[in-house]
């Protein structure tokens, strides 16, 4: 784990509080280089911002050469922070460099800078709590920076006592929630018309309530507070505007290429009647517990008959770090083959 005080040596990470630095450390890395080694080359594409932690570098930029020494004023600033390296860095001594994911840095800086301006009617301590919880939400880590201020200004803090129902089974979708503190449980009938039974628990930092908002269908589970809970929520309208669009990118059937994982999110009976060649049957209801069957390093394409279930599955998969898209409008039966 990176020592959090390291971020205090550099700009703009020096402005972050310990909680924000801890979040940034999750997507950062310190790399050791030997004298004479080229740390990075001008023109190479990168997703990272580079800082010099120890040693001396020779920087070649636009035909000019100059030295940067760790601890100097120049070293407080990024060696390179664009989508491609703007210079070549060669180690004159053994050196250590800090690499920070550029998009994550941009997101955290936007959250922390915009948050105090946009938050209303929330105490200072509570504001810090819910912003940390939202930063840890896998969904909100994928929100474009342009949408962050909108999300911050739109969220509403709410509290529920232990035993209270937050979401009711078969009710219309109205809000998307992120749990800030406490614990919730998910209840769902094992069979149509059967009693509700507990199927899952929700810890702080996790979001829920997205399936009905993505699909347009009624709630498929009840969510109940196990302990006293603090949450933030977005209305269905704000969820659609700020989260659904960037989180659920559609594609056409004709865009499928070799190497993509095809996932049929319909019921096994539907899958047996006909499916795309090579597709894995992973029903929407099982996505949360069975997504480990997929290869996280390969793109995923979900499909169903009309698009609603596959859009919901895509959101759930992207929550869990998969590069997932869905076939807009669904796949017609004429394109499916039976076993």
Q: Give the whole-number percent of the chain exceeding pLDDT 90.
A: 47
Confidence class for position 3, pLDDT limits 50, 70, 90: very high
Confidence tier at 298 by pLDDT (50, 70, 90): very high
Asked whether 165 and 229 are in contact (CB, 8 A), the reply is no
| pLDDT digit string, tens, across residues 54-85 | 999 999 988 999 999 999 999 999 998 788 89
Answer whether 227's CB lies under 8 Å from 172's CB: no
Q: What is the pLDDT of residues 20-65, one digit of tens each?
A: 888 899 889 999 999 999 999 999 999 999 999 999 999 998 899 9
The CA distance from 65 to 301, in Å, is 48
Residue 289: predicted pLDDT = 84
Euclidean distance between CA atoms 143 and 306, whole angstroms: 26
Q: Which domains does the chain have, with CATH numbers?
A: 4-104 (2.60.120.10), 119-246 (2.60.120.10), 248-335 (3.40.250.10)
pLDDT of residue 334: 79
Mean pLDDT of 90-105: 93
Residue with tokens 């000019």: 64
Report pLDDT for 339.
57
Q: What is the DSSP string of 243-301?
A: IIHHHS-EE-GGG--TTPEEEE-S-HHHHHH-B-TT-EE--GGGHHHHGGGS-TTS-EE
Alpha-carbon span 334 to 337, nearest angstrom: 8
What pLDDT, on a 0 to 100 scale, did the predictor assign at position 158? 94
Determine the Cα–Cα distance for residues 36 and 327; give it in Å rounded to an integer.
50
The tens digit of pLDDT for each residue in 243-273 reads 777 677 889 999 999 999 999 998 888 898 8
Task: Tell me what percent of the residues of the chain surpass a pLDDT of 70.
Answer: 87
In the chain, DSSP assigns E strands to 28-33, 38-40, 48-54, 56-61, 64-69, 88-91, 95-101, 156-160, 165-167, 175-181, 184-189, 196-202, 207-208, 222-225, 229-235, 250-251, 261-264, 280-281, 300-303, 324-327
Nearest partner of 31 among 100, 112, 133, judged by Cα: 100
pLDDT of residue 127: 46
Burial class (CB in 10 A: 0-12, 13-18, 19+), 327: buried
* For residues 152-158, average pLDDT: 84
* Residues 103-128 pLDDT 10s: 888 777 765 654 443 444 444 444 45
User: Mean of the per-residue pLDDT values for the chain?
Assistant: 85
- Alpha carbons 187 and 199: distance in angstroms, whole number: 6
Partnered with residue 175 across adjacent β-strands are 235
């Amino acid at each position: 784990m990176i020592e959090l005080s390291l971020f205090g040596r550099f700009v703009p990470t020096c402005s972050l509080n310990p909680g924000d630095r801890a979040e940034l450390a999750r997507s950062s890395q310190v790399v050791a280089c030997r004298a004479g080694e080229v740390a990075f080359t001008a023109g190479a594409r990168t997703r990272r911002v580079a800082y010099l932690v120890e040693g001396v570098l020779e920087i070649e930029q636009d035909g000019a050469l100059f030295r940067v020494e760790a601890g100097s004023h120049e070293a407080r600033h990024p060696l390179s922070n664009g989508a491609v390296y703007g210079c070549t860095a060669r180690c004159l001594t053994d050196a250590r460099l800090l690499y920070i994911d550029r998009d994550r840095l941009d997101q955290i800086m936007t959250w922390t800078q915009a948050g105090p301006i946009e938050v209303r009617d929330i105490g200072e301590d509570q504001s810090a709590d819910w912003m940390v919880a939202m930063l840890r939400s896998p969904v909100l880590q994928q929100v474009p920076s342009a949408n962050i201020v909108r999300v911050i200004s739109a969220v509403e803090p709410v509290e529920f006592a232990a035993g209270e129902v937050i979401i009711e089974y078969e009710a219309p979708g109205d809000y998307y929630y992120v749990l800030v503190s406490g614990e919730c449980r998910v209840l769902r009938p094992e069979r149509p018309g059967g009693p509700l039974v507990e199927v899952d628990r929700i810890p702080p930092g996790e979001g829920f309530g997205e399936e009905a908002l993505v699909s347009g269908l009624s709630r498929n589970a009840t969510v109940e507070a196990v302990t006293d809970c603090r949450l933030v929520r977005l209305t269905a309208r704000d969820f659609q505007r700020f989260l659904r669009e960037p989180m659920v990118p559609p594609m056409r059937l004709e865009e499928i290429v070799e190497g993509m994982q095809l996932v049929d999110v319909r019921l096994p009976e539907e899958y047996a009647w006909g499916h795309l060649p090579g597709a894995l049957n992973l029903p929407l209801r099982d996505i949360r517990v069975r997504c480990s069957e997929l290869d996280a390093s390969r793109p995923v394409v979900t499909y169903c008959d009309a698009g609603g279930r596959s859009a919901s599955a895509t959101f759930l998969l992207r929550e869990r770090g998969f590069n997932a898209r869905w076939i807009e409008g669904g796949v017609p039966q004429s394109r499916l083959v039976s076993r």
